[in-house]
């Protein structure tokens, strides 16, 4: 299995609790993360994830409200691993960071170089959409 690891960050002019509320709204994830088309609950903390490319996965989620950490674990599908979103606050601005640590399944290994760039670009665009949403006061 081929591992893909990277992190991206963005500064958002908002308090962390406002950002956290937005990023942990599971049904709204596809609004920001366009590689995800749909997420449906299928059990206790188990979700069916339909991707923009023709594939599905099973995910679980971890919430740490006190530390402003939100983790999506991919436990079954074309890749496994996690995405970890963390918010740090310095008193007047927040930094939202997304960290990816996934392992591609056999069907995707040949495309690992292209997928790395695609996932990184998608993460950057998702962070920009979250920033725009929150700073437009729609996140309040």
pLDDT tens digits, one per residue of 51-85: 998 899 999 999 999 999 999 999 999 999 999 99
Task: Report the distance separating Cα 16 and Cα 6, nearest Å.
Answer: 22
Query: Where does the pLDDT of residue 108 fall: very low under 50, low under 70, confident under 90, or very high at 90 and above?
Result: confident
Task: Report the distance separating Cα 96 and Cα 85, nearest Å.
Answer: 7
Query: Where does the pLDDT of residue 107 fall: very low under 50, low under 70, confident under 90, or very high at 90 and above?
Result: confident
According to CATH, the topology of domain 2-25+59-135 is Alpha-D-Glucose-1,6-Bisphosphate; Chain A, domain 4 (3.30.530)
> In the prediction, which pLDDT does 53 show?
85
Beta pairing partners, 8: 98
Average pLDDT of the residues in 94-110: 93
The number of residues in the chain equals 140
Task: Report the distance separating Cα 103 and Cα 109, nearest Å.
Answer: 9
> In the prediction, which pLDDT does 103 show?
95
């Amino acid at each position: 299995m081929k591992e893909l690891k990277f992190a991206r960050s963005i500064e958002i002019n908002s308090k962390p609790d406002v950002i956290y509320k937005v990023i942990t709204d599971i049904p709204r994830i596809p609004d920001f993360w366009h590689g995800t088309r749909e997420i449906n609950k299928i059990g206790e903390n188990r979700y069916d994830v339909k991707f923009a490319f023709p594939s599905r996965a099973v995910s679980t989620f971890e919430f740490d409200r006190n530390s402003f950490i939100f983790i999506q674990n991919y436990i079954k599908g074309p890749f496994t691993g996690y995405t970890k979103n963390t918010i740090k606050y310095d008193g007047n601005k927040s930094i939202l960071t997304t960290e990816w640590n996934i392992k591609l399944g056999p069907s995707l290994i040949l495309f690992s170089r292209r997928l790395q760039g695609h996932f990184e670009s998608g993460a950057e665009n998702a962070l920009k959409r979250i920033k725009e949403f929150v700073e437009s006061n729609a996140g309040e």
